[in-house]
Amino acid sequence: MGLLSKKSEKKSEKKSESKIFSSHWLFTVYLALVSLVAVIVMSVNLGIFITSVGKYILITDQEYILSDRAWEIRQCSEPRWEESKSVEKTEEEIRACEQKASETALAQRSINLKETFIESLAWFAVFGLLFWFHYPKFLRAREEK
């Protein structure tokens, strides 16, 4: 019986030690800060995601090429240099260059948007989990006081 009572005493000591930490004001502050930071980061990343979706929906491919990537298209009509001489490009070379520049710009836009979607949703999920695990504990710790 002595061995059994010692085990139950150790369990009650561990429970009281964990209660001491969870009832400490510093633990409550920690839970509040983690929850607050999680909400802020989730809000920022949700805003980034919504903005990216808006850019994808509202800005057409042609508008994107003409505004953000116009320098690449203009560069196609500029002469090229061969042995310190300026050589004019043919119409066919200019059209092929513009087509390739447009395809490259649109592919880059697609990649950038997908990366932004993935990053913002991943950060939202990570900090959502942090909030999900910490906020209920914060509420319980506050209720106990």
pLDDT in tens, 70-116: 888 888 888 888 888 888 888 999 899 999 999 999 999 999 999 99
Q: For 3-9, what is the mean pLDDT?
A: 53
**Which token pair is 67?**
């505004």
Quote the CA–CA distance of 59 and 107 in Å, as a whole number: 15
Quote the CA–CA distance of 114 and 96 in Å, as a whole number: 27
pLDDT at 140 over 50: yes
Half-sphere exposure of 62 (CA within 13 A, CB side): 0
Residue 100 has a pLDDT of: 94
Indicate the pTM of the whole model. 0.66
pLDDT in tens, 25-66: 788 888 889 999 999 999 999 999 999 999 999 999 889 888
How far out from the chain centre does Cα 99 lie?
32
pLDDT at 17 over 50: no
Quote the CA–CA distance of 80 and 115 in Å, as a whole number: 34
pLDDT at 3 over 60: no
Q: Where are the domains of the chain?
A: 29-144
Residue 48 parent element (H or E): helix 25-58
